[in-house]
């Protein structure tokens, strides 16, 4: 049996576009003599559709699209993910399903058993749990079809009671198929591959794994579909962050030896994910050009480089907005970066705007010392200019805040937190530096002065981040343990961090929750990003 893996980039609710991609892949697979073509989880509607699943018309369109695609499955079988109505009167209205299309019709349906309800996933909100296990015969081959999480039952943190593959193993299938929508994060690539290898070895059967690619606002899907032999060795891998397809003969899978798997560079994949996230967001939203505030600092510089790679340098407009506290070097460095990249740029001093606000508030603020209020007025003045440019020119404003700043509230609401997309809001400051050095690996794109200067918001004379925050290697270590690993203060202190620093950092994180609630969507690249994957109460005494 010849099997095609179709790793495609879908747009949520674009039924015409998605079905055209699927049908085109089916047509090409038929020309190659393929017997079975496999698509990803919820391919028909795109993943995740979220509360669109609450609309009956949306679900009816999904099912109608499945039947339309089935008409093209003559002389070939296709497995296509889609929501399907629950035929029973009890339970949730929908199943997360793998539809088996053949002979021009919907032949069979397999439902998902393990519904993830953690981090960015909320599938039990919409779908009913499968409790009926069966294999499906495809071209004479008994096949066990699973859907994404169904292979992750043994992960301790999930505490699943069911073992879908264990149930299916009893039917002695000849092939395991998993259709997936598994999002990217930096810690997951190796773990995912280990799960697939372990499960194919457990079943003693070859496995076809098809994952989607694409960025759906905050979630980035990396693809990396693959074929695993029954010994738990990867014999074929598709590309990452790109549409890809491949054909393999089932009879050859177990004959093949495992391919050489090179060690992956974490920063290289982080860089690739961020560029792809920007690019796909703009493409799917129909945007062409971006604007950002270019301060001469490392965060805005990094975003400017990533955006230029994603959109083309000519489509990224850098705006320098110096105040009376901005150093001459910062403006010079920002201009040099724009020239290195070939970005259009403009210098618009904000001193007059800031003084106008000061004058307007002088009566109310009379006799009061310069403090965070005046600092924030500068940040908000910049946001007014940037949003004005965005509105007038139709450019999309990119947010340049990093995860370290957002964690401790070192950012200004309606100021530097403005933007339609937060590019590095899930990247700690220490990793910002690593990315900058990676970008400069072959030649100097980011001026070295930007990388080497002490971080500063430049909102008062001689200001440095270290005046009010621990050094970033210490801060980021604490933040990672608290936010991504859910460690409490005692556990973090036991790791060797100073008690007073730990308690202060945690207090800052908890106190800034209301700010993050109002932040733009953040490209998720870590196991625990701010946004849909981290839901915290705004009013709390924790």
DSSP state of 241: S
Cα(5)–Cα(34) distance, rounded to whole angstroms?
Answer: 10
The sign of the CA dihedral 485, 491, 494, 499 is positive
Selection from 102, 180, 176, 181 nearest residue 145 by Cα: 176
Residue 97: beta bridge partners? 82, 111
Contacting residues for 249 by C-beta, under 8 A, at least 6 apart: 1, 2, 3
Handedness of CA 452, 410, 383, 300 (dihedral sign): positive
If you ran DSSP here, which 8-state letter would residue 314 be given? G
The alpha-carbon radius of gyration of the chain (Å, integer) is 26
Length of the chain as a residue count: 542
Run of H or E residues at 177: strand 175-180
Q: Which of 354, 399, 345, 394 is nearest to 374 (CA)?
A: 354
Task: Report the chain's terminal Cα–Cα distance, integer Å.
Answer: 58
The CA-atom distances, in angstroms, between 98 and each of 52, 84, 88, 168, 495 are 19, 9, 18, 15, 46
Residues whose CB falls within 8 Å of the CB of residue 74, separated by 6 or more in sequence, listed in order: 103, 104
- Secondary element (H or E) of residue 213: strand 213-216
Task: Say if residue 376 is exposed, middle or buried (CB neighbours under 10 Å; 0-12, 13-18, 19+).
Answer: middle
8 A C-beta contact, residue 88 and residue 130: no
Residue tagged active-site, from 2, 62, 73, 112: 112
- On whether the CB atoms of residues 240 and 192 are closer than 8 A, the answer is no
Instruction: Give whole-number Cα distances, 516 to 81, 300, 414, 423, in Å.
Output: 34, 19, 12, 14
Is the CB of residue 31 less than 8 Å from the CB of residue 235?
no
State the catalytic residue, choosing from 41, 123, 149, 484.
Answer: 41
Please report how many Cα atoms fall inside a 13 Å half-sphere around the Cα of residue 298, on the Cβ side: 25
Known catalytic residue: 73? no
Residue 201 among the catalytic residues: no
What are the backbone dihedrals phi and psi of residue 183, each rounded to the nearest 5 degrees, phi first? -75, 155
Catalytic residue among 148, 169, 272, 528: 148
Q: What is the secondary structure of 143-201 as a DSSP string?
A: EEEEEGGGG-TT-TTT--S--HHHHHHTT--SEEEEEE--B--TTHHHHHHHHHHHHHH
392 a catalytic residue: no
Closest CA to 49 of 39, 38, 61: 61
Apex 489 CA angle, 484 and 490, nearest 5? 120
Q: Report the catalytic residues.
A: 41, 112, 148
């Amino acid at each position: 049996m010849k099997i095609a893996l179709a790793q495609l980039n879908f747009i949520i609710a674009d039924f015409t576009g998605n079905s055209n991609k699927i049908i085109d892949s089916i047509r090409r697979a038929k020309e190659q003599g393929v017997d079975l073509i496999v698509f990803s989880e919820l391919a028909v509607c795109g993943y995740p559709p979220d509360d669109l699943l609450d609309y009956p018309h949306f679900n009816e369109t999904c099912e109608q699209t499945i039947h339309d695609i089935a008409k093209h499955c003559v002389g070939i079988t296709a497995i296509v993910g889609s929501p399907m109505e629950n035929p029973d009167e009890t339970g949730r209205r929908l199943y997360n399903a793998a539809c088996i299309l053949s002979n021009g019709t919907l032949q069979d349906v397999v439902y998902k058993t393990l519904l993830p309800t953690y981090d960015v996933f909320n599938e039990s909100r919409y779908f009913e749990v499968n409790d009926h296990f069966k294999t499906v015969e495809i071209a004479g081959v008994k096949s066990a079809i699973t859907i994404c999480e169904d292979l992750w039952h043994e992960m301790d943190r999930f505490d699943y009671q069911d073992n879908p593959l264990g149930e299916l193993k009893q039917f002695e299938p000849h092939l395991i198929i998993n259709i997936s929508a598994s999002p990217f994060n930096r810690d997951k690539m190796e773990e995912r591959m280990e799960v697939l290898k372990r499960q194919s070895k457990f079943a003693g059967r070859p496995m076809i794994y098809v994952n989607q690619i694409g960025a759906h606002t905050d979630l980035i899907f990396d693809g990396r579909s693959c074929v695993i032999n029954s010994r738990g060795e990867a014999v074929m891998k598709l590309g990452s962050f790109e549409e890809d397809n491949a054909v393999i003969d089932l009879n050859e899978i177990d004959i093949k030896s495992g391919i050489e798997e090179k060690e992956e560079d974490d920063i290289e994949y982080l860089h690739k994910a961020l560029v792809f996230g920007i690019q796909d967001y703009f493409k799917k939203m129909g945007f062409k050009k971006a604007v950002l505030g270019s301060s001469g600092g490392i965060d805005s510089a990094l975003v400017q480089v990533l955006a230029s790679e994603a959109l083309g340098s000519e489509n990224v407009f850098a705006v320098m907005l110096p105040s009376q506290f901005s150093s001459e070097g910062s403006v010079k460095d920002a201009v040099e970066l724009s020239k290195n990249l070939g970005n259009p740029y403009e210098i618009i001093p904000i001193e007059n705007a800031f003084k106008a606000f000061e004058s307007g508030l002088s009566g109310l603020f009379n006799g009061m010392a310069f403090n965070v209020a005046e600092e924030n007025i500068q940040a908000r003045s910049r946001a007014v200019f940037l949003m004005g440019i965005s509105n007038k020119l139709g450019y999309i404003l990119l947010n340049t805040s990093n995860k370290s700043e957002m964690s401790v509230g070192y950012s200004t609401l309606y100021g530097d937190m403005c933007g339609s997309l937060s590019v590095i809001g899930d990247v700690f400051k220490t990793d910002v530096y690593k990315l900058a050095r990676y970008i400069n690996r072959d030649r100097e794109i980011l001026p070295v002065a930007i990388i080497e200067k002490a971080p500063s918001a430049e909102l008062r004379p001689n200001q440095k981040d270290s005046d009010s925050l621990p050094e970033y290697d210490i801060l980021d270590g604490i933040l990672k343990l608290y936010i991504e690993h859910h460690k409490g203060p005692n556990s973090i202190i036991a790791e060797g961090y100073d008690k007073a620093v730990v308690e202060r950092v945690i207090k800052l994180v908890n106190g800034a929750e209301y700010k993050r609630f109002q932040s733009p969507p953040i490209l998720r690249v870590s196991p625990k990003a701010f946004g849909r994957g981290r839901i915290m109460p705004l009013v709390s005494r924790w």
